[in-house]
Amino acid sequence: MPEQPVAAKSGAPAPGSSSAGAPRHVAIIMDGNGRWAQRRGLPRAAGHREGVQALKRTVEAAGNAGVECLTVFGFSTENWSRPADEVSDLMGLVRAYVTSDLARLKKAGVRVKVLGRRTGVPADIVRMIEGAEADTAANNRFLLQVAFNYGGRADILDAAEDHAQRRLAGDAAPLTEAAFSTGLASAGSPELDLIIRTSGERRLSNFLLWEAAYAELVFQDILWPDYGAEPLAQAIGEFQQRQRRYGGRLAEPAMARA
């Protein structure tokens, strides 16, 4: 569980600066549950169950590392195409996670937000999600965003639709990146600093497409059920070595400019 309070908000580092501090906002594509189970001769559901344990460890480790916001990819709009029994296992795990962990998260000052469309999600899970969001809305120690029935393109479409509706209602404010971002599911969270994908795959798979614009990407070979504090620290260490330029240039040494 996070032990440190959320730090005061600061702006993005200037172009050319390195990422010396902890990333404020980390997102994780939790990949490899199926392979983890397969290697042990277990059903895929066992991999997903262990994946939930890894998620619990990682939320705690992220808070302890000084991260303010963690966004995880729990279930994509494309995951509905998996066999019905696997979809049903995943739904069951979400129910179990919320039921077993919400009180602990709430007590630890974690605010829970679920990113993604609610249409198509079983009604009892929608009620659970809304309950978890309402129950933790006043918490500000750590923000846990769970992308569930989420797709990055769908989210951008929804933001565009939101903007179009506001225009039709007479809002003539110019469309800026900042204004557009307010229609995204992640509105209000800190700028995304780091995206991690486990299992060795090197794709974004429709995750946080808008938010990824200037995020650093770290791909790790570990399978998600084996994840926790140590691999997260390694990923953060790699992030801290990166030079973030935001499209600018590295600062030239003073001698070179003379």
What residue ranges bind ligand FPP (CB under 6 A)? Answer: 30-35, 48, 51-52, 55, 74, 79, 90, 93-94, 97, 146, 199
Kindly state the smallest distance separating residue 95's Cβ from ligand FPP, in Å: 9
How many residues belong to the chain?
258
Strand partners, 28: 72, 196
Helix (H) or strand (E) holding 136, with range, is helix 123-136
Q: At what angle do helices 44-64 and 229-241 cross, to 10 degrees?
A: 60
> Distance between CA 91 and CA 125 in Å, rounded?
8
2 with 141: CB under 8 angstroms?
A: yes
CA trace torsion 236, 240, 242, 246 (10° rounding): 100
Active site residue 79: yes
Rank residues 100 and 241 by Cβ distance to ligand FPP and give the closer one: 100
- Return the half-sphere exposure (C-beta side, CA atoms, 13 A cut-off) of residue 37: 13
Residue at shortest CB range from ligand FPP? 34
Q: Which of 31, 89, 101, 193 is catalytic?
A: 31
Rank residues 150 and 239 by Cβ distance to ligand FPP and give the closer one: 150
Kindly state the smallest distance separating residue 79's Cβ from ligand FPP, in Å: 5
Kindly state the smallest distance separating residue 120's Cβ from ligand FPP, in Å: 16
Tokens of 160: 């565009």
Q: Which of 79, 135, 158, 206 is catalytic?
A: 79
Rank residues 55 and 218 by Cβ distance to ligand FPP and give the closer one: 55
Rank residues 19 and 33 by Cβ distance to ligand FPP and give the closer one: 33
156 with 210: CB under 8 angstroms?
A: yes
Rank residues 23 and 51 by Cβ distance to ligand FPP and give the closer one: 51
Active site residue 124: no
> Distance between CA 3 and CA 16 in Å, rounded?
31
Kindly state the smallest distance separating residue 97's Cβ from ligand FPP, in Å: 4
Instruction: Write out the E strands in 4-141.
Output: 25-29, 69-76, 110-115
Kindly state the smallest distance separating residue 34's Cβ from ligand FPP, in Å: 2
Residues recognised as catalytic: 31, 79
